[in-house]
């Protein structure tokens, strides 16, 4: 379990969430939003000194966060992401321990392989694992 890479925040509007972080918290390092159609989301990173906030908005109705936003229309904390040196080794280790891994590793918002552990295995928290770029 490596560094906390980011906290994923689901929102119905990245624009509105960016304004909130900017006006209420004085966020200054705000990235340009970008689409990740393969993952069903639009993404915008806000840098904090030791991690990032990952704002995610549904790309379309089939987005994996559409259900979450139906239950939480104003949005909310969606997942936490930890870095691992080797995503395949992490998946094998977790599966051997009986955890449910959601899908296969795929390229995430930082351009490296990611995977998700089912919330029921992590005390109700959706955990994303992301291979650190230097993990290759
Ligand atoms: C990949 C790009 C970017 C990156 O960092 O690189 C991202 O992070 S994008 C993030 C969006 N993508 C994902 O979240 C993919 C993984 N997620 C999933 O496969 C689903 O969201 C899943 C399976 C976690 C939930 O799916 P869904 O909401 O359709 O199912 P249910 O409503 O039936 O939920 C089942 C069960 O899980 C609980 N749940 C759902 N979402 C969350 C959550 N975010 N945190 C904690 N718990 C969650 C839900 O309450 C249900 O619990 P139960 O006790 O069975 O009622
Ligand atoms: Co994420």
- E strands, the chain, are 4-10, 34-36, 41-47, 52-58, 76-84, 101-107, 113-117, 127-131
Nearest residue by C-alpha to atom 21 in ligand 1: 64
Q: How confident is the model at residue 104 (pLDDT cuts 50, 70, 90)?
A: very high
Q: Which domain holds residue 43?
A: 4-131
Nearest residue by C-alpha to atom 55 in ligand 1: 120
Q: In a 10 Å sphere around its CB, with 0-12 CB exposed, 13-18 middle and 19+ buried, how is residue 66 labelled?
A: middle
Q: In this structure, is residue 20 part of a structural domain?
A: yes
Q: In this structure, is residue 64 part of a structural domain?
A: yes
Residue 136 confidence (pLDDT) above 60: no
Residue 78 confidence (pLDDT) above 90: yes
pLDDT tens for each residue of 20-36:
999 999 999 999 999 99
Q: What is the CATH number of the domain that holds 41?
A: 3.10.180.10
Q: In this structure, is residue 136 part of a structural domain?
A: no
Residue 135 confidence (pLDDT) above 80: no
Is there an atom of ligand 1 within 6 Å of 54 CB?
yes
Is there an atom of ligand 1 within 6 Å of 113 CB?
no
Chain centre distance of CA 34: 14
**Is residue 128 annotated as part of the catalytic site, yes or no?**
yes
Provide the domain count of the chain: 1
């Amino acid at each position: 379990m490596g560094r906390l890479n980011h906290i994923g925040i689901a929102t119905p509007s990245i624009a509105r969430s960016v304004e909130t972080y900017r006006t209420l918290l004085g966020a200054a390092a705000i990235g340009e939003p970008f689409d990740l159609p393969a993952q069903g989301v639009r993404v915008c990173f806000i840098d904090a000194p030791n991690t990032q906030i990952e704002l995610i908005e549904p790309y379309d109705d089939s987005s994996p966060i559409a259900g979450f936003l139906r239950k939480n229309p104003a949005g909310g904390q969606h997942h936490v992401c930890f870095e691992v040196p080797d995503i395949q080794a992490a998946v094998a280790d977790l599966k051997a321990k009986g955890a449910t891994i959601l899908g296969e590793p795929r390229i995430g918002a930082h351009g490296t392989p990611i995977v998700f552990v089912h919330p029921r295995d992590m005390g109700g928290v959706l955990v994303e694992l992301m291979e650190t770029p230097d993990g290759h």
